[in-house]
Amino acid sequence: MDLNRAIDGWCRKVHPRGVQHEEQIAELSDHLHCEIEALLACGHDQREAFALATERMGAPAELADEHRKNGSLLARMCRTVQEADSALMVPIRRHLSPKAASAVLLAVSLFAAGLMLLSGWLLPDFVNATYLILAAWFVPFHLLSVRSGEKAPTEGSAGA
Amino acid sequence: MPLSKNLVAASATPIILGLLRRGDSYGYEIIANVRDSSGGALEWADGMLYPILHRLEKQGWVEAYWGQSEAGRKRKYYRLLKAGRVELERQRKAWNETHALVQRMTGRLA
């Protein structure tokens, strides 16, 4: 078993977007190394030690949620849109032909463009128009993200 | 007796600040100290400590710096700041008052 690789892989489940999270990955990685070293000293083999240490850390999905709470509003919105985008694209790719999928994406783009024009016409004040676009864009994506989260398999409880 | 999840969550901040008042520390050591000092009453999922530490850092109560472990790994240490000491004192008083109140309200009548 390549322990370093396994630890790094586990940490990246908690912080999937690498570059800005390298420091947080290094911190989690140090913790796992400490725990695994202690377990190895108690007589566990590498595989057992890794399994026990990661179990004590908690479920990566729940830890990722906790870390997300610390992010800025913009970072949280970007993440939500990213998740919702995947939730939207997976069924489109699975169920539709490439031509139909392109049509759906074109429709979504036209909807967004229409929304921008409409907001500019209805709300000439720039700030209010921006808020309207953000709300109209973000709310459906947020709902999609929540829906995809509900469908995702859970990995157990992280405890307190 | 293991504490409820709500109590564990509410007590996390003063406990971490209190441990850091003793000296700079890092995640694994903090968890180990909590485990030892509480005699197992406080059961934290280890990974949950880090978002809390990052929140404390954001609030300006602790500051982090990078050091090195004995094995040469990068290690993030946390140091209690003055604002953190003030917050710790505030939370300690609040907990004491809550404890006294619970004692008064639930104690047996003479």
Q: Write down the pLDDT at residue A88.
A: 66
Taking only the tens place, the pLDDT of each residue in B25-73 is 999 999 999 888 888 777 778 888 999 999 999 999 999 999 998 888 9
Which chain A residue's Cα is nearest to B28? A31
DSSP-assigned letters across all residues of A83-143: HHHHHHHHHHHHHS-HHHHHHHHHHHHHHHHHHHHHHHHH--SHHHHHHHHHHHHHHHHHH
Give A-chain residues touching B31 at CB under 8 angstroms.
Answer: 31
Give A-chain residues touching B35 at CB under 8 angstroms.
Answer: none
Q: Write down the pLDDT at residue A48.
A: 93
Q: Which of A70, A155, A157 to mutate to test the interface with B (most CBs of B within 10 A)?
A: A70
DSSP-assigned letters across all residues of A40-69: HHTT--HHHHHHHHHHHH--HHHHHHHHHH
> Is the minimum CB–CB distance between B48 and chain A shorter than 8 Å?
yes
Q: Write down the pLDDT at residue B53.
A: 94
Q: What are phi and psi of B63, to 5 degrees?
A: -125, 150
Q: Write down the pLDDT at residue A154.
A: 38
Taking only the tens place, the pLDDT of each residue in A87-115 is 666 666 677 777 777 787 788 778 877 87
Query: ipTM, 2 decimals?
Result: 0.85
Nearest to B48 among A23, A29, A66 (CB): A66
Q: What is the mean pLDDT of each run of 10 residues along chain A (160 residues)?
A: 88 70 87 93 92 90 79 63 64 74 78 78 69 70 61 40
Q: Write down the pLDDT at residue A158.
A: 36
Tell me the pTM: 0.66
> Is the minimum CB–CB distance between B35 and chain A shorter than 8 Å?
no
First-last CA distance in chain B: 27
Nearest to B43 among A24, A66, A160 (CB): A160
Q: Write down the pLDDT at residue A160.
A: 37
Taking only the tens place, the pLDDT of each residue in B69-92 is 888 899 999 999 999 999 999 999
**Cα A76 off chain centre by:** 9
Q: Write down the pLDDT at residue A21.
A: 76
Which chain A residue's Cα is nearest to B10? A160
Q: Write down the pLDDT at residue B93.
A: 95
Tokens of B56: 């404390």
Taking only the tens place, the pLDDT of each residue in A83-92 is 666 666 666 6
CA distance B77 to chain A (A): 9
